[in-house]
Amino acid sequence: MASVRVDQKKRALVRNVPDSYTRALAKYFGKGPTDVELARTQHQAYINALESNGVKVHALAADDRHPDCIFVEDQAVVVDGKMLLPLPGHPSRVAEQPPIAEFLMSELGGVQTCTMGGEARMDGGDILRLGNLFFVGRSSRTNDLGIASLRSLLDDFGFELRVIDIPGHALHLTSIASTPTDTIILVPEDYLAAEAFGDLPEDCEVLWMPADEAYGCNTIGLPNGKVLVAEGYPTVHSTLRDRGLDLVELDMSEIRAADGSLTCCSIFY
Ligand code: CIR
């Protein structure tokens, strides 16, 4: 998930790949997964990469009733010890949430938890954090009432929230942008306006990547200085390496096939 700072990524929740994964939603990067075993191999490599770089990972059991259940990022937003449980923007994904919420509530004993009601909708995949500055995508999954719920959570901390309109050819804000460090935003050309992120703190920068590397812009920066990246995006890789970052490349083909990216598969807490 993209709602914690890099130094806060000590523990992660993931969820295993269900037998029903070939029925996962796919409309943007993917045409639908076809190989559940390969997806499991790639998902395990993702878990191994987190663990071997110092993250303690807990894997929830898969639920075959929910083909998209591996994409846990969308189901809970943890910010500095508080948690927002959004109402996911796609009706088929709402029932994925209870075991995730239950696990996080028990792990984060006494965590202050907010829920969404009425017409508010949000996927956690629309939230991006750069240090103590937050961005949220207004997308096909996240509406203004959902954004208002997030704003009230962030107001408690005094964190600023900026809204970014997500174009129709992208699913979420994190599908096309990430913060591999607390000072860099990686984003593809042809998706967002140049001024989409507004004025950033002095030491921060937006790095614009070629549009055909949009998927590669989703990365996970870890406290040990390593950055998990998807295999096959040379400009993203060389740009990050030029900034002194050490990359761990992962084959994400069967995750991408269901429009999922690296950040979608975990919640850091
Ligand atoms: C969906 O359409 O909901 C899933 N197939 C993909 C969710 C990806 N999650 C994310 O970007 N945070």
237-265 pLDDT tens trace? 999 999 999 999 999 999 999 999 999 99
Listed in sequence order, the DSSP H helices in the chain are 36-52, 97-107, 144-155, 173-176, 234-242, 253-256
Q: Rounded to the nearest whole angstrom, what is the distance from the C-alpha of residue 114 to the centroid of ligand 1? A: 22
Up-side HSE of residue 265: CA atoms within 13 Å toward CB? 31
Q: Rounded to the nearest whole angstrom, what is the distance from the C-alpha of residue 131 to the centroid of ligand 1? A: 24
Instruction: Please give the pLDDT value at position 144.
Output: 98
Does the C-beta of 28 come closer than 6 Å to ligand 1? no
In the predicted structure, residue 1 carries a pLDDT above the cut 60: no
Instruction: Please give the pLDDT value at position 110.
Output: 86
Does the C-beta of 96 come closer than 6 Å to ligand 1? no
Phi/psi at 229 (nearest 5 deg)? -135, 155
- pLDDT band with cut points at 50, 70 and 90 for residue 39: very high
In the predicted structure, residue 2 carries a pLDDT above the cut 60: yes
Is-catalytic flag, 172? yes
| Domain range summary for the chain, segments of one domain joined by + | 6-268
Does the C-beta of 126 come closer than 6 Å to ligand 1? no
64-117 pLDDT, tens digit per residue, is 999 999 999 999 999 998 999 999 999 999 999 999 999 999 999 989 999 999
Mean pLDDT calculated for residue range 28-39: 97
Measured between alpha carbons, how far is residue 35 from residues 4, 18, 41, 42 in Å?
32, 11, 10, 11
Mean pLDDT calculated for residue range 144-165: 97
For the CA of 126, the closest atom of ligand 1 is 12
Mean pLDDT calculated for residue range 190-208: 96
Does the C-beta of 93 come closer than 6 Å to ligand 1? yes
Fold of 6-268: L-arginine/glycine Amidinotransferase; Chain A (3.75.10)
